[in-house]
């Protein structure tokens, strides 16, 4: 389990970066924005967050598997 602030920070950075890449590099990057949004919605229903598992496996401060 990770603190909510870490997950929100990562999600925000992913969304802002993918929107910028979609505008300035290639529109296909908007699919990544949709993927992040979909994961946020599904995690609100299921309490399963793939990013939380990755951060826990990586040993990020405050996160565990």
Full domain range(s) for residue 34: 4-58
**pLDDT of residue 57 exceeding 90:** no
Is 29 part of any domain?
A: yes
Total structural domains within the chain: 1
1-53 pLDDT, tens per residue?
A: 678 888 899 999 999 999 999 999 999 999 999 999 999 999 999 989 888 88
3-state secondary structure 1-65: CCCHHHHHHHHHHHHHHHHHHHHHCCHHHHHHHHHHHHHHHHHHHHCCCHHHHHHHHHCCCCCCC
Is 65 part of any domain?
A: no
The confidence score (pLDDT) of residue 1 equals 63
The confidence score (pLDDT) of residue 54 equals 87
């Amino acid at each position: 389990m990770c603190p909510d602030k870490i997950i929100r920070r990562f999600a925000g950075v992913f969304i802002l970066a993918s929107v910028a890449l979609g505008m300035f590099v290639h529109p296909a990057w908007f699919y990544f924005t949709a993927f992040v949004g979909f994961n946020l919605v599904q995690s609100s229903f299921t309490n399963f967050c793939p990013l939380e598992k990755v951060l826990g496996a990586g040993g990020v401060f405050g996160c565990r598997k």
